[in-house]
Amino acid sequence: MKHNSGESESRHEIMFREKFFVSTALSAPVLLYSSFIQGLFGFSLPAFTGSSLIVPVFSMIVFLYGGIPFLRMGRDELEDREPGMMALISLAIFVAFTYSMGSLFLSGSSSFFWELVTLIDVMLLGHWIEMRSVRKASGALEELKELMPDTAEKITENGKDKVRVPELEEGDKVLVRPGDSIPVDGKVYDGESSVDESMVTGESKPVDKSEGDEVIGGTVNNEGSLRIEVTATGDDTALSGIMNLVEEAQKSESRSQKLADRAAGWLFYIALGSGLVTGVAWTLAVGFGLTVIERVVTVLVIACPHALGLAVPLVVAINTSMAAQNGILVRDRIAMEEARTIDTVVFDKTGTLTEGEQSVVDMKAVSQEDEVLGKMAAAESDSEHVIAEAIRNKAEDRGIDIPESSGFDSISGKGVRAKVGGSEVHVGGPNMLEHLEVKKRFEDFVERSGRKGRTVVYLVEDGEVRGAVALADRIRDKSREAVKKLQNRGVEVAMLTGDSEDVAASVAEELNIDTHFAEVLPEDKDSKIQELQNQGKKVAMVGDGVNDAPALTRANVGIAIGSGTDVAVESADVILVKNNPMAVVKLLNLSDLNYSKMLQNLFWATGYNALAIPLAAGIAAPVGVMLSPAVGAGIMSLSTVIVAINAQLMRRKSINP
């Protein structure tokens, strides 16, 4: 059964719960005064004037009160000419009620009253369980909503004011104290702390934040105070975007869901066909009579596959929430199912496998490396160039005390110069060496760096080359592990980049990637994906830029890095909240788990019908085995419980590589 929103699911859950308890209470007199139940358990209740009406009257009340929701939804399916689960349930209870009421006026016939009320009770219980399970499975979405605080401490000219979060606007400044939730997306302009982003990104470790770092609304500040400038509010926040994607994914139909819906439609016609065949066969065997009618009614009553309605939706709901908890947002349910079939993953290089910014990756020095690096950082202290920033960051990472500098001067196209420790130092590339007419050094280092497509920057002190650093786009920490894990799964890993062959080959070698495409123009990325597909490969593309959008769309599964451009995100089937290639491995593992649980649930759900319908038709009658509606309802209930428990067991499975 499909519902359009979390509110609708909650409303249906309450309705089915209330109707279950009331119907069960009203069913008690029917069971107690049923001759079959009394005979089965060896007891009797005193008869009195009107006691013979207890069973039919209370059965009618249960039918009208508890059965009406199913009849209405079944009617809607038939009007749409798309019979499914509700049509099957409606058929079962309507036939059971009509036959039982008719039996009151036919001598020698037996009624299905206690079976009718039991069937309705089981159906109400099953749908209550379904609604409750789906609501719980969707709990991640509710938890995300609860992450956002109601108020924030706004910094004003007069001090600080407590305001409602919706009142905040872009450009406002807020104070986030230790232990508080960050109210909006923003950028830190003062303070240092660590932030728990686990509910949003799936990252278990707190993330250090300082001036210039971006923060996400709904995440939790830890030990330090942060002053944040608001960059996004309301529906524009990352958390809001995540919630919308999760909600859309939970509503969307997968291929498995469509298969289950079609199966319910087929079973409706199978039930009618089985009833017809049963009627003809028994008529030919024993002649037309009450026995024939009873067999036909039994087939129609127990053909109801309630577990089938729960089999796929519950797995989908749990799967989606598990994905969100691990920083994986699924926009297309079909993509989640197809991910398990992927045999080739193509990564964009810059910003995906690499950091997308220059970093010092190697160095050479005449004396102490830290001393050389410190002097280079000092000379570059006033420069805003990306190379200068990379050198300063490397010095900071090493914990080097950067000496004081003075007399900074930028030499266009050649480098910089400054006074450091009483000496004149220059920092720059080969053009600077030619300009200064100094002797080159470290030829092997320079040649090796050149083969790998790295940029070499020298330190010249007092007219002599004292050291050199090699810069490149630094490979992400998790890239090596992700490539290895994918290859261990039997998945081929390829890399796509617009960089030179030297750079591409160097990164591919470092990551142990066998296939790489270098110097690929943006408009040609799409054709490279198609080229792999023409070889019969199932391809997933992972990218983050505008020029990746056509390739993401072309791929069997398009995966966008969440921090990438809006165009890339909109072109993708799956979005990774955090720039972590390991999330691709998690996606494939989750797809495997999703598929196996769906198959298991469909087996348990359809197994009931495969067993019950032939037995109800009387195929085993020659050996004395006849399936009654009561036993059928019991098997149906067991099937539903198994499906619900099996789906919930997904949560115990780890998708960590």
Q: How far is CA 474 from CA 192, 352, 467, 497, in A?
A: 25, 11, 21, 15
User: How many Å separate Cα 130 from the centre of its chain?
Assistant: 20
Tally: H helices and E strands in the chain: 24, 22
401 flagged as catalytic: no
Q: Is the dihedral of CA 95, 96, 99, 102 positive or negative?
A: negative
337, with CB counted inside 10 A (0-12, 13-18, 19+), is buried
Two tokens, residue 372 = 């050389």
- CA gap 363, 200 in Å, rounded: 38
Q: Provide the pairing of β-strand 455-461 with 464-475.
A: antiparallel
**What letter would DSSP give residue 619?**
T
Instruction: Please check whether residue 284 is in contact with residue 571, taking contact to mean a CB–CB distance below 8 angstroms.
Output: no
- Which of 244, 245, 206, 204 is closest to 224 using CA atoms? 206
* 3 state SS for 368-399: CHHHHHHHHHHHCCCCCCHHHHHHHHHHHHCC
- CA gap 23, 283 in Å, rounded: 36
Instruction: Please check whether residue 546 is in contact with residue 530, taking contact to mean a CB–CB distance below 8 angstroms.
Output: no
Query: H or E segment at 460?
Result: strand 455-461
- CA gap 210, 194 in Å, rounded: 9
Cα angle value 295/296/302 (rounded, 5°): 85
| Annotated catalytic residue within 196, 348, 526, 548 | 348
Query: Could you give the residue numbers annotated as active site?
Result: 348
